[in-house]
């Protein structure tokens, strides 16, 4: 590692990243709380030091150059590492104090947050958790960019290179109206029973849709035209006789509270998803996340959390899985 002083600053890298994200020098200057001429001068100096143009600009638009795309991405990585360094130093005294930003997907949040949020507040009163609900793809991008510290997701999704700690396995069930062919039975369901049955699924972008669709495709079920944005809508439609659907067991108690539905588990080995907390590799908050996961497991509904207390988090590149593939027990 060279000990020679660098000819550019972290602030200049921040300016460059801001321009690349806003594609506007004016908006980037506003975001960075500096004047536009000052920001433009710093970008010009950075380009001179690097010996290449990062941006193409005229009166109408700003574009990132081919060389600039790679350099801007590396600048983002440098800034993330810098933020982690500062965060590590700040939390050296008490890693479970301050603020953490944690993402969570919509097919988990309404069923898990009411249980774990109070438990985490009681266990760590000096810790403020800011929860962000969104689809897996959005959370993965926010995690990679440093806008989130961690996320509660299903591991069957494409998450990139992350560290993970499993919270629980969440089996799937079939939900049907009591007077339907599937709902009139009380035995564990076979996937083959879905053949030629009209099934309601979530809209595109939900990882649970991909997992449920894989089961339905293999069983040769027929997906109905309507696509819901929430599991609540799916269960209401099924209760009204519009078809059948698949639910994660985590959602069953809440979604069947006010509806007359028959819920049938799959026979073993049952399809399932794996709920976990994930975070960036080499995050200085890894130790804190281990404690948080222990607390979440303890508060998990029905005591069904994975029995892995004390186990070290896994660190691995998560290869992109075949879309919709669901794990079996």
**How many other CB atoms are there within 10 angstroms of residue 30's CB atom?**
15
Tokens of 117: 């949020």
For CATH 3.40.190.290, the residue range(s) in the chain are 97-329
Q: In the prediction, which pLDDT does 258 show?
A: 80
Residues of the chain with CATH 1.10.10.10: 10-90
Contact 159/153 with Cβ under 8 angstroms?
yes
Whole-prediction pTM value? Answer: 0.71
> Rounded to an integer, what distance in angstroms lies between the CA atom of residue 20 and that of residue 240?
49
Given the candidates 3.40.190.290, 3.30.1490.190, 3.30.750.210, 3.40.50.300, the CATH classification of the domain at 97-329 is 3.40.190.290
Q: What is the pLDDT of residue 328?
A: 35
- Cα separation, 263 vs 260, whole angstroms: 10
Pick the CATH number of 10-90 from 1.10.10.10, 3.30.70.3340, 3.90.640.10, 3.30.70.870: 1.10.10.10
Q: Which of 153, 174, 172 is nearest to 162 (CA)?
A: 153
Q: Which of 235, 236, 266, 264 is nearest to 251 (CA)?
A: 235
As a whole number of Å, the CA-based R_g of the chain is: 24
Phi, psi of 232 (to 5 degrees): -60, -45
State which H helix or E strand residue 198 sits in: strand 198-202
What pLDDT, on the 0 to 100 scale, is given for residue 179?
85
pLDDT computed for residue 307 by the predictor: 47
DSSP 46-75: HHHHHTS--EEE-SS-EEE-HHHHHHHHHH
Q: Are 55 and 64 in contact (CB under 8 A)?
A: yes
Other residues' Cβ atoms within 10 Å of the Cβ of residue 4? 6
User: What are the per-10-residue average pLDDT scores of the chain (329 residues)?
Assistant: 80 94 93 94 93 88 92 91 79 77 96 95 94 95 91 91 94 90 86 90 90 90 90 92 92 88 90 95 88 95 56 46 38
User: What is the pLDDT at residue 282?
Assistant: 83
pLDDT of residue 91: 67
């Amino acid at each position: 590692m060279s000990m020679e002083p660098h000819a550019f600053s972290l602030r200049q890298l921040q300016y460059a990243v801001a321009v690349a994200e806003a594609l506007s020098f004016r908006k980037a200057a506003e975001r960075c709380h500096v004047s536009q001429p000052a920001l433009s001068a710093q970008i010009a100096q950075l380009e001179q030091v690097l010996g290449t143009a990062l941006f193409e600009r005229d009166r109408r638009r700003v574009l990132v150059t081919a060389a600039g795309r790679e350099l801007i991405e590396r600048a983002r990585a440098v800034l993330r590492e810098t933020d982690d360094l500062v965060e590590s130093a700040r939390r050296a005294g008490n890693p479970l104090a301050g603020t953490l930003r944690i993402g969570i997907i919509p097919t988990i949040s309404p069923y898990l947050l009411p249980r774990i949020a109070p438990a985490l507040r009681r266990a760590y009163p000096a810790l403020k958790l800011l929860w962000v609900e969104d689809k897996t793809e959005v959370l993965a991008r926010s995690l990679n960019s440093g806008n989130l510290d961690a996320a509660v997701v299903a591991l069957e999704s494409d998450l990139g290179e992350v560290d993970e700690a499993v919270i629980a396995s969440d089996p799937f069930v079939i939900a049907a109206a009591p007077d339907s062919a599937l709902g009139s039975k009380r035995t564990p369901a076979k996937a083959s029973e879905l053949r030629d049955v009209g099934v309601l699924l979530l809209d595109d972008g939900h990882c649970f849709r991909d997992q449920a669709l894989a089961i339905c495709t293999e069983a040769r079920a027929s997906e109905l035209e309507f696509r819901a944005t929430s599991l609540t809508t799916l269960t209401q439609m099924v209760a009204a006789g519009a078809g059948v659907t698949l639910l994660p067991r985590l959602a069953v108690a809440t979604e069947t509270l006010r509806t007359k539905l028959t819920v049938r588990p799959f026979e073993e080995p049952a399809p399932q998803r794996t709920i976990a907390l994930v975070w960036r590799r080499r995050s200085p908050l890894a130790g804190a996340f281990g404690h948080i996961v222990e607390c979440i497991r303890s508060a998990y509904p029905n005591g069904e959390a994975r029995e892995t207390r004390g186990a070290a988090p896994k660190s691995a590149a998560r290869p992109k899985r075949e879309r919709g593939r669901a794990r079996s027990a």
